């Protein structure tokens, strides 16, 4: 069975976070990622969903298959219309948190994936895009 091209989930509660993790893990498994890689993807999704809940209250996560330069991968896009991030450089530092957490969300997610991009505008929201490439040999 061919994997779905894209799956989306609205994030507004802890239950949605769990569903988003499962969605990412299932798509990673369908695409032949190793169990370890699928866990890394699920963990990165969890970090993004936690940030959405903590800072914006709600948002959306989309997971889709990507094929570039002869490589299979997954792309995860987390979008919210929250307050935005005033200082992106600070937000990307380990231990930085304005919500009283451990400050591992964005830097932690960045460490778990191959490519990381973040765009944020104060008053408009934040979009985080992650890419994880499947290693040859699965």
Q: Which residues contact 9 (CB under 8 A, 6 or more apart)?
A: 16, 19, 20, 23, 60, 61
67 falls within a domain: yes
What are the start-end ranges of the E strands in the chain? 6-11, 59-68, 71-80, 115-121, 125-133
- Domain around 70: 6-133
The pLDDT tens digits for 13-72 are: 999 999 999 999 999 999 999 999 999 999 999 999 999 998 999 999 999 999 999 999
97 falls within a domain: yes
Pick the range with the lowest mean pLDDT from 10-14, 76-80, 89-93, 114-118. Answer: 89-93
1 falls within a domain: no
56 falls within a domain: yes
| CATH number of the domain residue 123 falls in | 3.30.565.10
Query: CA nearest 45: which of 64, 61, 33, 58?
Result: 61
Residues 102-123 have a mean pLDDT of 86
Query: Which pTM was predicted?
Result: 0.89
Q: Give the β-pairing of 71-80 and 115-121.
A: unpaired
- What's the total number of domains in the chain? 1
138 falls within a domain: no
């Amino acid at each position: 069975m061919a994997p779905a091209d894209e799956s989306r989930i609205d994030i507004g509660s802890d239950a949605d976070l769990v569903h988003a993790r499962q969605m990412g893990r299932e798509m990673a498994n369908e695409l032949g990622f190793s169990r370890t890689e699928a866990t890394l993807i699920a963990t990165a999704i969890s970090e993004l969903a936690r940030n959405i809940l903590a800072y914006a209250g709600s948002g959306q996560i989309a997971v889709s298959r990507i094929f570039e330069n002869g490589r299979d991968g997954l792309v995860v896009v987390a979008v919210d219309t929250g307050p935005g991030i005033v200082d992106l450089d600070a937000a990307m530092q380990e231990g930085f948190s304005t919500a009283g957490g451990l400050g591992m969300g964005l830097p932690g997610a960045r460490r778990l994936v191959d490519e990381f991009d973040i765009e944020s505008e104060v008053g408009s929201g934040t979009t985080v895009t992650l890419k994880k490439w499947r290693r040859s040999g699965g």
